[in-house]
Homo-oligomer: A and B are copies of this chain.
Amino acid sequence: MLSASVDIRVRYEETDKMGVVYHSNYFIWFEVARVALLDELGCPYSELEKDGFFLPVLKCEASFKLPAVFDDRLKITVRIEKLPVARIEASYVVKRGDILLATGSTQHAFVSVEGRVVRPPDSFLEIAKQYFSD
């Protein structure tokens, strides 16, 4: 399993007139956590793109238990449970201290500059394999 966490502080811009974080922002935080996971793996996303690989979002979903508010310090944890081959599936947990605020998931494919779905880069697969026991 692959996992990483990032600390987020809620920006004023992310709130709405209900006084809480507008829901679409959670997907941006999920992205920040994914980027951190690829960093820790030694395959920074910016490098993948320079090598001609993109990871667009095919699906995404989130469930909101409790609202996040301005200035909250949150921890976003991302997990990839299965060795990514054709698809990458990532799940997310958003917590304020011990309190669970939201969960979510995203699904991605590796895509070439031309927009075709491609195999993950070998360098990525080599490294990723080490994190998944069989």
Contacts and interface: CB of A to CB of B under 8 A. Distances in A.
Contacts of A13: 16, 22, 24, 28, 31
A28 B17 contact: no
A35 B71 CA distance: 9
Contacts of A59: 61-64
Contact of A25 (B24, B54, B61): B24
Contact of A61 (B17, B61, B69): B61
Per CB-CB distance, the 3 closest pairs between chain A and chain B, nearest first, are A61-B61, A15-B17, A24-B27
23 contacts: A11-B31, A12-B22, A12-B31, A13-B22, A13-B24, A13-B28, A13-B31, A16-B16, A17-B17, A17-B20, A17-B69, A18-B54, A20-B56, A35-B71, A46-B71, A49-B70, A56-B67, A57-B64, A58-B64, A60-B61, A60-B62, A61-B61, A61-B62
